[in-house]
Each structure stands twice: as structure tokens, then as C-alpha cells.
Amino acid sequence: AVQLTQSPSSLSASLGDRVTLTCRASQGISSALAWYQQKPGNPPKLLIYGASTLESGVPSRFSGSRSGTDFTLTISRLQPEDFATYYCQQFNTFPLTFGGGTKVEI
């Protein structure tokens, strides 16, 4: 199974900060990676798919990129509603797998 390692597991940031979250795949997955945001008590919300395509309705301060088997989610200017946990997911092969998550805290 493809393992996804997210780093850091948590980070503290301030409003207006630029933050970068990383997801490393244990093997090549092409660009078959999605990012989700989850707030407590709520289901995940799709942010990005295909490593860098922004889902409709998601603010443009979110962006994704890929370099080989390393993927990044960048939030350009943190807003109050961005404090949440972020997960990556690969959909290149079964079993589908998620990273362990990165919690973004104030």
C-alpha cells in the first residue's frame, strides 16, 4: 500500500501567515493526490485534486503543488476559518490511503 507521510503533524501559526504543509508518498503516484480540510465535528471538505487543481468554490489562497513524490498544500494568508486539520489522500492505486493529517492551530 502507498504510505502518505504528512509533516508537520501540527503547527502553530498566526492570522495572515503563509503556511506550507507537506505530504510525501512512499512510491510514485503521479498527480493522483487530493487535499481535504476537516473541522471538529464535521466531515472532510475537498480543497484540491490532481495535486494542484482547486476545487470549485475553494478560496484562491489555497494552492497545491507536486515535486516527484512530494506534495505541498500552501495557504497564502491564513484566515480564521482556516484553522483545521488537513489530510492528503492518494487515489493512484488501491487501497486508497490518507496521510495522518496536519493540525493547523493558532
User: Would you tell me which residues interact with another protein (CB under 8 A)?
Assistant: 1, 32, 34, 36, 38, 42-46, 49, 55, 87, 89, 91, 94-101
Which CB sits closer to another protein, 17 or 65?
65
CA distance 50 to 106: 29
Question: What's the closest the beta carbon of residue 103 comes to another protein, in angstroms?
Answer: 10
H-run or E-run covering 12: strand 10-12
Give the shortest CB-83-to-another protein separation in angstroms: 17
Q: How far is CA 34 from the centre of its chain?
A: 7
Instruction: Quote the CA–CA distance of 84 and 11 in Å, as a whole number.
Output: 11
Residue pair 35/87 in contact (Cβ under 8 Å)? The answer is yes
* Residue nearer to another protein on the CB measure, 29 or 75: 29
Closest distance to another protein from the beta carbon of 61 (Å): 20
Nearer of residues 17 and 100 to another protein, judged by Cβ: 100
